[in-house]
Amino acid sequence: MDVFAFILEPLQYGFLTRALAVTVAAAVVAAVLSCWLILMGWSLMGDAVSHAVLPGVALAYILGIPFSIGAFVFGAGAVALIGIVRSTTKLKADTVIGVVFTALFASGLAIVSATPSQIDLMHILFGNVLGVSTGDVWQVMILGVVTLAILLFKRRDLTLLAFDRTHAHVIGLNTRFLSALLLGLLALTVVVGLQAVGIILVVAMLITPGATAFLLSRSFDRMLVIAVVLTVAASIAGIYASYYLDISTGAAVVLCQALVFTVVYLFGRPDGVLWQAQRRRVVRTHSVEGRGAASSMAPVPASSARASDGAPGGDA
Amino acid sequence: MTVHPVPTGFPAGAPVLDVRHLTVRYDDVQALDDVSVTLAPGRICGLIGVNGSGKSTLFKALMGLLAPQSGSVELFGRTTASARKQGLVAYMPQAEEVDWTFPVSVSDVVAMGLYGRLGPARRLRAADRAAVDQALERVGLTDLRRRQIGQLSGGQRKRVFIARSIAQDAKLLLLDEPFAGVDRSSERTMTALLQDLRDEGRSVLVSTHDLAGVPELCDEAILLHQRVLAQGDPAAVLTHGNLARAFGPVYRAAPLPPAAAPSVVPAAASSPTASSPAPAPASSPAQSAAPAPAPIGKP
């Protein structure tokens, strides 16, 4: 049938199945990491690390070593540099991040422009997923599995770190090590993702899935599952859109993720803006006091909790 | 849960906390100046002072979160690091330090009290789940265990963190402004709970700038303003003269002598605080009883 033809046609090309494998693998790892990243408030850190790997990738091409080694060294180096500058000045974190990653990104551009014939800048910046080799696929798969395994093994510690760092410290956990671990895994995830969508758009993979899942979740494990399911769907849809509409693959994948976010933002339960608007209407027409409308975050049970405890909800 | 009437495993007679000549400076701001404090097992101590008096700094020093310029801090006769590793210390954060939108349930948070003694993946075994259940039961949150933490009232939120320290089986509880944003009936529930924990031999250090609950809850009090102004029995510490020194020009002579403070409690019970967890001066229980100290409750 037509539908089967629609689905199968792109898959007869080896380059497209490889693209699909790399994109889905990278998207899953990035989606899992993004759940912690957005809860830690480290979205900007994802932005910084992904841009900062540019000189590493460029040098790796020039030296003829695997690009992932160069990228990881510079990603981790950027994290360390940000940490050092932060702890030795009075500057705020976002300021330090901005200074460090633009400097590294610019030095990457300088290196690329000094050796124009060897490197295709556009491929590094925006990905070249249709040109990946079987070796690249293996590289992405191995790094992806390692990153994912560590993340899931330490997921409870990382969640505690994001939720209550002081408690983690007080019960004797090594919070510095856990922070460093999460940042190291961030660098690895960037390495995995830049093949698929390039270093500019990998930022979207590191933030959007977690943000979307956060809107739908009241528990962390559920958030992880939702992020992964939605990102896999968006990646596959993106690859197909890129094939049939003849648009950039990285752009199509990121646009699909943004589309999912938009749908959840509007229609997701219980906090989608349309449901909020409906609740306000219901409260206006049915409530005598109309006081409940003020608390946009408060779901129905909160009011009963309030009654049972005799305490205000405290919509912090 | 095993109940230790007296904390075990450390030198008999060692105080729960022993702070000697502690001095902390942030750049050119003197946060703590030659502070010496001790606390015996099985005592509840109120740490009283205005915002900026060094309460938070002292807590940070007790938790090993800052390096003092001089002086020493010992918990249970050992270093703070060693006490942390043993799971002896628990901390309840101020309401505004907690991300109430975080996707964790009540029982998830209580289970975090156990992480220090679990394996590297922090997988809960049957005994650990039982410890979580018992802690929830003790604070009366069993029915709400699956709630996301933001879906609780102010008083319930505080009890989640008390349950976490119960699950942890901590011997020293550090509570940072536990009664901010909590109504009087919840405050009474928490007071009874903390006194139960004290009767098991645990010690509690409560930082607060709300004087109303102190005589009712605490066995002793410390009045802090960079230096220790007074230390000992609450009635002896909360004198007009001491309070004027601690709260400065904001403090005017209260209509009631501090010794009579417990009797003022019911007077304030009628005004639950507004939706903000931070104590709005207008609705602080202290205000209606003793207008003087309340204005220091600036966020």
User: Is residue A234 within 8 Å of residue A264, measured between CB atoms?
Assistant: no
User: Is residue B64 within 8 Å of residue B150, measured between CB atoms?
Assistant: no
Cβ–Cβ pairs < 8 A, chains A and B = 145
| Tens digits of residue pLDDT in B183-205 | 888 889 999 999 999 999 999 99
User: Looking at the structure, do residues A188 and A296 belong to the same domain, yes or no?
Assistant: no
Q: Report the residue of A170, A212, A223, A315 to disrupt the B interface, i.e. the one with the largest count of B CBs within 10 Å.
A: A170
CB atoms within 10 A of CB B227: 16
Closest CA in chain B for residue A162:
B102
A164–B98 CB contact, under 8 Å: yes
Task: Report the pLDDT value the prediction gives residue B249, as an integer from 0 to 100.
Answer: 66
- Within B148-273, strands assigned E span 172-176, 203-208, 220-225, 227-232
- Whether chain B has a CB inside 8 Å of the CB on A139: the answer is no
CB nearest to B104's CB, from A157, A220, A302: A220
Task: Report the pLDDT value the prediction gives residue B252, as an integer from 0 to 100.
Answer: 56
Chain centroid offset of residue B104 CA:
23
Identify whether A315 is part of a domain: no
Identify whether A237 is part of a domain: yes
Q: Report the residue of B112, B123, B141, B161 to disrupt the A interface, i.e. the one with the largest count of A CBs within 10 Å.
A: B112
Identify whether A316 is part of a domain: no
B157–A223 CB contact, under 8 Å: no
Task: Report the pLDDT value the prediction gives residue A51, as an integer from 0 to 100.
Answer: 93
Chain centroid offset of residue B227 CA:
19
User: Looking at the structure, do residues A136 and A159 belong to the same domain, yes or no?
Assistant: yes
Touching B: A residues 253-312, CB under 8 Å? 294-295, 297-299, 301-302, 305-306, 308-312
Q: Which helix (H) or strand (E) holds B89?
A: strand B89-92
User: Looking at the structure, do residues A234 and A284 belong to the same domain, yes or no?
Assistant: no
The yes/no answer to whether this complex scores an ipTM above 0.90 is: no
User: Looking at the structure, do residues A178 and A94 belong to the same domain, yes or no?
Assistant: yes
User: Looking at the structure, do residues A287 and A254 belong to the same domain, yes or no?
Assistant: no
Enumerate the residues of chain A whose CB falls inside 8 A of the CB of residue B269. none
Provide the shortest C-alpha distance from residue A92 to chain B (in Å). Answer: 17
**Interatomic CA distance for residues B219 and B203, integer angstroms:** 10
User: Looking at the structure, do residues A177 and A278 belong to the same domain, yes or no?
Assistant: no
**Interatomic CA distance for residues B117 and B115, integer angstroms:** 5
Return the DSSP state at B195: H
Label residue A315 exposed, middle or buried (CB < 10 Å: 0-12, 13-18, 19+): middle
Identify whether A215 is part of a domain: yes
Q: Which residues pair with B203 in a beta bridge?
A: B172
Identify whether A222 is part of a domain: yes
CB nearest to B103's CB, from A219, A302, A314: A219
Which two structure tokens, joined as six digits, stand for B236?
């002896």
B153–A222 CB contact, under 8 Å: no
How many domains does the structure of chain A reveal? 2
- CATH number for the domain including A90? 1.10.3470.10
Phi, psi of B252 (to 5 degrees): -115, 160
User: Looking at the structure, do residues A250 and A301 belong to the same domain, yes or no?
Assistant: no
Which two structure tokens, joined as six digits, stand for A316?
């912090």
CB atoms within 10 A of CB B34: 13
Identify whether A161 is part of a domain: yes
Chain centroid offset of residue A257 CA:
11
CB nearest to A160's CB, from B87, B115, B148: B115
Enumerate the residues of chain A whose CB falls inside 8 A of the CB of residue B104. 159, 163, 219-220
CB nearest to B115's CB, from A173, A217, A295: A173
Identify whether A314 is part of a domain: no
Q: Which residues pair with B227 in a beta bridge?
A: B225
Enumerate the residues of chain B whose CB falls inside 8 A of the CB of residue A311. 153-156, 182-183, 185-186, 272
| Tens digits of residue pLDDT in B228-279 | 999 999 988 888 888 888 887 666 554 444 443 433 333 333 334 333 333 3
User: Looking at the structure, do residues A262 and A282 belong to the same domain, yes or no?
Assistant: no
Closest-CA residue to A34 (of A224, A210, A184): A210
CB atoms within 10 A of CB A91: 13
User: Looking at the structure, do residues A103 and A235 belong to the same domain, yes or no?
Assistant: yes
User: Looking at the structure, do residues A172 and A304 belong to the same domain, yes or no?
Assistant: no
Start-to-end Cα distance in chain A: 55
User: Looking at the structure, do residues A237 and A182 belong to the same domain, yes or no?
Assistant: yes
User: Looking at the structure, do residues A283 and A214 belong to the same domain, yes or no?
Assistant: no
User: What 3-state DSSP class applies to B116?
Assistant: helix
DSSP string, B4-61: -SS--SS-TT--SEEEEEEEEEETTEEEEEEEEEEE-TT-EEEEE--TTSSHHHHHHH
How do the pLDDT tens digits run along chain A, 316 residues long?
588 888 888 888 888 999 999 999 999 999 999 999 999 999 999 999 999 999 999 999 889 888 889 999 999 999 999 999 999 999 999 999 999 999 999 999 999 988 866 678 888 888 888 888 888 899 899 999 999 999 999 999 999 999 999 999 999 999 999 999 999 999 999 998 887 788 888 999 999 999 999 999 989 999 999 999 999 999 999 999 999 999 988 899 999 999 999 999 998 877 778 888 887 877 777 654 444 444 444 444 433 333 334 333 333 3
- Pick the last residue of a domain from A252, A267, A282: A267
Q: Which helix (H) or strand (E) holds B168?
A: helix B154-168
Closest-CA residue to B66 (of B99, B29, B22, B98): B22
B183–A312 CB contact, under 8 Å: yes
B147–A301 CB contact, under 8 Å: yes
Domain that holds residue A291: 273-308
Start-to-end Cα distance in chain B: 38
B156–A305 CB contact, under 8 Å: yes
Identify whether A115 is part of a domain: yes
Q: Which helix (H) or strand (E) holds B75?
A: strand B70-75
